[in-house]
């Protein structure tokens, strides 16, 4: 029965939902979900903070400066632009800390943004 639901795309394998949660949090530019383990009670609890990594004033400033041009960018590109606007610059290492994108892909992303 479980295999049937998986094939229809309405079921999931145990543990597969956390990657979907991480993706959704990254898309919203929220702090990365954390996992808290309690070895005494043998429980695992996700800590889902919905605090934004990008302040609203920075988002407003970027929309004033670039208008709708930011809407077509990937979430990583939007994060890089927001970090650069907030801090004056963004490094590969800083961007890697707030995304789960492979470092090689971040290099290509930063090069494309510079162009």
Please state the domain extents for the chain. 15-52, 54-115
Burial, 94: exposed, middle or buried (Cβ in 10 Å; 0-12, 13-18, 19+)? Answer: middle
Residues 6+ apart with CB under 8 A from 66: 81
Question: What is the rounded CA–CA span in Å between residue 86 and residue 81?
Answer: 9
Give the residue carrying structure tokens 């290509």: 108
pLDDT in tens, 66-99: 666 656 677 777 778 777 777 788 888 887 877 7
- End-to-end C-alpha distance for the chain, whole angstroms: 51
pLDDT for res 65: 72
Question: What is the rounded CA–CA span in Å between residue 4 and residue 20?
Answer: 21
Angle at which helix 103-114 crosses helix 75-87, to 10 degrees, equals 60
Give the residue carrying structure tokens 């695992």: 44
The pTM for the full model equals 0.47
The parts of the chain modelled with pLDDT lower than 50 are none
pLDDT for res 55: 64
């Amino acid at each position: 029965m479980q295999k049937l639901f998986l094939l229809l795309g309405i079921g999931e394998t145990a543990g597969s939902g956390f990657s979907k949660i991480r993706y959704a949090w990254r898309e919203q530019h929220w702090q990365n979900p954390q996992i808290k383990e309690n070895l005494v009670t043998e429980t695992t609890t996700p800590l889902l903070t919905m605090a934004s990594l990008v302040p609203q004033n920075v988002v407003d400033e970027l929309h004033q400066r670039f208008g709708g041009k930011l809407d077509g960018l990937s979430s990583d590109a939007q994060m890089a632009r927001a970090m650069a606007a907030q801090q004056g610059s963004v490094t590969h290492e800083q961007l890697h800390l707030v995304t789960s994108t492979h470092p090689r892909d971040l290099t290509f992303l930063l090069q494309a943004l510079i162009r």
